[in-house]
């Protein structure tokens, strides 16, 4: 997303039940979570969220970019609580997060969910065509946090 510099990559071979369709990379201090499918189990989503939170607690990672542009499927209903917990954790950690949604409808739903919490300026969803804006959002929020 931000260039070729990638610090670490976590894949399903390294973490079980981490889904094969998700990849985490750290680039310029931003954790990038790319999904190729969002039809995963609640346990798989929880495994990804555990890794995301572990990264966000590190001093060298200051924000999260979720890229669902290439993701097929839909988030199963049983993952709703896990998503809510992740959003709450992001707010508690004051970690900026941009989500590149697979569609405008998904973007609207994510933004509604994020707005239910205080500090909505930390989390925002973007349509696929605005993926660069999503990256700029996280970078600008991390610079604000460190300034």
Torsion of CA 109, 1, 142, 11, to 10 degrees: 80
Residue 95 lies in a domain: yes
Residue 15 lies in a domain: yes
Residue 1 lies in a domain: no
Residue 23 lies in a domain: yes
At residue 35, φ and ψ (nearest 5 deg) are -115, 135
On the CB side of 69, CA atoms within 13 Å amount to 14
**Band of the pLDDT at 1, cuts 50, 70, 90?**
low
Q: How far apart are alpha carbons 37 and 16 in whole angstroms?
A: 17
Total domain count, the chain:
1
The pLDDT of residue 25 is: 93
Residue 43 lies in a domain: yes
Residue 4 lies in a domain: no
**Band of the pLDDT at 13, cuts 50, 70, 90?**
very low
**Band of the pLDDT at 4, cuts 50, 70, 90?**
very low
Domain range for 52: 9-146
Over residues 51-105, the pLDDT tens digits come to: 999 999 999 999 999 999 999 888 888 888 898 899 889 989 999 999 999 888 8
Residue 89 lies in a domain: yes
pTM: 0.85
**Band of the pLDDT at 136, cuts 50, 70, 90?**
very high
Residue 82 lies in a domain: yes
9: tokens are 């990559």
CATH number at 122 reads 3.30.750.24
Residues 108-129 have a mean pLDDT of 81
Q: How far apart are alpha carbons 147 and 136 in whole angstroms?
A: 16
Whether residue 60 contacts residue 96, with contact meaning beta carbons closer than 8 Å, is answered with no
């Amino acid at each position: 997303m931000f260039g070729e510099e990638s610090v670490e990559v976590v894949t399903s071979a390294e973490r079980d039940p981490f889904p094969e369709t998700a990849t985490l990379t750290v680039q310029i201090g931003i954790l990038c979570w790319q999904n190729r499918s969002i039809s995963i189990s609640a346990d798989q989503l929880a495994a990804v969220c555990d890794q995301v939170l572990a990264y966000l607690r590190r001093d060298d990672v200051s924000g999260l970019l979720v890229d669902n542009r290439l993701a097929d499927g839909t988030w199963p209903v049983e993952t709703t609580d896990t998503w809510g917990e992740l959003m709450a954790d992001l707010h508690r950690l004051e970690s900026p997060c941009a989500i590149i949604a697979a569609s405008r409808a998904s973007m609207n739903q994510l933004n509604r969910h994020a707005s239910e919490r205080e500090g909505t300026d930390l989390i925002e969803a973007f349509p696929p065509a605005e993926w660069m804006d999503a990256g700029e959002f996280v970078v600008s929020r991390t610079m604000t946090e460190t300034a």
